[in-house]
Amino acid sequence: MLGPMPAHNAEYHRFSSSHVSQVRRLLIDWYAQSKRPLPWRNPNPDENENAYRVWVSEIMCQQTRVDTVIPYFNKWTETWPTVHALAVADPEAVRSVWSGLGYYSRASRLLEGAIIVVNKFKGVMPKDAETLQKEIPGIGRYTAGAIASIAFNQATPLVDGNVVRVLSRMRALGMDPKSKTAVDLHWSLAADIVDPDQPGDFNQSLMELGATICTPTNPDCAACPVKEYCRAFELHTVSTEKAKAALQAPRKMKRKIIDDDAEDESSCALCLPVTDIEDCGALLVTRYPVVPKKKAAEEKEVLVPIIELRIPDQPSKFLVMQRPPKGLLANLWDFPHIPTTEELSPLTDFSSENLVDSIPNTSLSKSSLTIKIEKPFEPIKHLFSHIKLTMNIVWLTAQLPDGISELPANDAATKNCAWWTEEEMETGAVPVTLKKALKLVTDDRKGGSKTGAQQGTIKKKAKKGANVKDAAQPSISNFFSRK
């Protein structure tokens, strides 16, 4: 068995003064030679513009891969190169440029923050972390530390996921990293080691180390510039040597090696609990930081009607709805999402009238349009950070009365609804869910989609006198398969 740690006091999990100076030097030197050439790392002579670029990049990079962020960052800074330019941007344009990056409320807070910087601070970004965090919406403790240290050379610490992993391993911290004790300790350690002369480079070196060397599952410990000061790597080396000794020793000697470890165990609250060597994987360092149990994602199921309005000699238009200003995908334009019910679900038969009547805030059921179900598709799933969404896509086509080539005003969608062409959806503020759903329709036109069962006959009839009409329609429930 590998005990939690050799007996030690609390200082075992801190950096000694001699270690601090060495770690600073080694990381800054390594960063100068090994840093990735990212667009936001090109220093701007104007420190205020540099601060703006750091701000945008840090917001974009939160919980998002750097490779994904780069084209978004370039487009954003080409569109709004300064905080002054962003402050007068159209909110819809901001959401459009951000579209596809996820966590859409962040784009709105960037715009809101830029307006505050211009109006309250005369366009000059605050230089200290405390003011940044207090005054600018969307700037938390981490982002404030990044802007203050990288753009303004303030000796301010920062802690993100990469830094948590690096510090957890370097100091062998085995508690839940999201606990208050762990959060406070990581910030304290980051403050202890931040370089007073080159805080920006040092903080970036910690993040870069976590992103490229000290990775979650396959760390390259051999290439790590500070492995000599890493407690987790030290423990891995010791445990590997003891495991080899136990395997090679006679049976009685194996027992003694195990007993010696047991006598050395401590009850430190900051350490990992006792664990078998075999459970540690190829590298003991990957046991740090502890991965807390994730809360299961909430499951939601919706019907998604894609209503295509076909107008002679014009591009088709599709009904889209703007989502509420708060909540999931706030303010974005998407196809209607109708929560499933016992009466309206993929397992029941319904007409286009039933479906259209269930779309909120529209007058389609009273319009002069002829709407019929073209084709349902197999369900597709989309995973958000906290929601697992199942989308049951139904493609409907709508036609204007004979002799009419434009949509009458009273047939247009009402507030927060619109008819968009495919081109408008490509450039508009739309989420990935819309793009996934639309792809089913566009692929079907090319003959490449899947629909489930063969066509049957619809069971429910439209209400007498209804304006929405179904031609001979397939039974909806036949199309949706469960896997």
How many residues are listed for the chain in this entry? 483
Say if residues 425 and 320 touch (Cβ distance below 8 Å).
yes
pLDDT band (50, 70, 90) for residue 242: low
Note the pLDDT of residue 267: 65
Catalytic residues: 58
Note if the bond before 273 is cis, omega within 30 degrees: no
User: Between 316 and 277, where is the model more confident?
Assistant: 316
Note the pLDDT of residue 360: 72
Say if residues 374 and 397 touch (Cβ distance below 8 Å).
yes
User: Between 418 and 356, where is the model more confident?
Assistant: 418
User: Between 129 and 244, where is the model more confident?
Assistant: 129
Q: What is the pLDDT of residues 84-100, one digit of tens each?
A: 999 999 998 998 899 88
Residue 11 neighbours by CB under 8 Å, 6+ apart: none
Note the pLDDT of residue 69: 96
Q: What is the pLDDT of residues 304-338, one digit of tens each?
A: 999 999 888 889 999 998 888 887 888 889 999 98
- What CA–CA distances, in Å, run from 299 to 45, 46, 148, 152, 421? 49, 48, 40, 44, 31
10 Å Cβ neighbour count for 457? 10
Note the pLDDT of residue 365: 60
User: Between 214 and 374, where is the model more confident?
Assistant: 214
Residue 359 CA to residue 365 CA, distance in Å, equals 9
- Between 53-67, 92-106, 107-121, the lowest mean confidence (pLDDT) is in 92-106
Kindly state the percentage of the chain with pLDDT values over 90.
Answer: 48
User: Between 363 and 413, where is the model more confident?
Assistant: 363
Note the pLDDT of residue 97: 93
pLDDT band (50, 70, 90) for residue 163: very high
User: Between 381 and 241, where is the model more confident?
Assistant: 381
Q: What DSSP letter does each residue of 165-215 carry, written as one string? A: HHHHHHTT--S-TTSHHHHHHHHHHHHHH--SSSHHHHHHHHHHHHHHTS-
pTM of the full predicted structure? 0.72
- What CA–CA distances, in Å, run from 150 to 18, 28, 225, 308, 481? 25, 13, 21, 49, 53
- Between 61-65, 193-197, 476-480, the lowest mean confidence (pLDDT) is in 476-480
- Please provide the average confidence, as pLDDT, over all residues in the chain: 81
The amino acid sitting at 84 is H
Average pLDDT rounded to a whole number, residues 208-222: 95
Note the pLDDT of residue 284: 81
Note the pLDDT of residue 100: 82
Note the pLDDT of residue 407: 65
Q: In this model, does residue 169 exceed pLDDT 90?
A: yes
Q: What is the pLDDT of residues 371-409, one digit of tens each?
A: 888 888 988 998 887 889 999 999 999 888 876 666 655
> What is the chain's Cα-based Rg?
29
User: Between 227 and 268, where is the model more confident?
Assistant: 227
Residue 194 CA to residue 435 CA, distance in Å, equals 44
Note the pLDDT of residue 473: 44
Average pLDDT rounded to a whole number, residues 170-196: 95
Note the pLDDT of residue 23: 97
In the chain, the N- to C-terminal Cα span, in Å, equals 43
Say if residues 221 and 285 touch (Cβ distance below 8 Å).
yes
Q: What is the pLDDT of residues 429-471, one digit of tens each?
A: 888 899 999 999 999 988 754 444 333 333 333 333 333 334 4
Average pLDDT rounded to a whole number, residues 413-422: 80
Enter the tokens of residue 286: 């990957």
Note the pLDDT of residue 268: 79
Q: In this model, does residue 4 exceed pLDDT 50?
A: no
User: Between 117 and 322, where is the model more confident?
Assistant: 117
Q: In this model, does residue 418 exceed pLDDT 70?
A: yes
Q: What is the pLDDT of residues 27-44, one digit of tens each?
A: 999 999 999 999 999 877
pLDDT band (50, 70, 90) for residue 261: very low
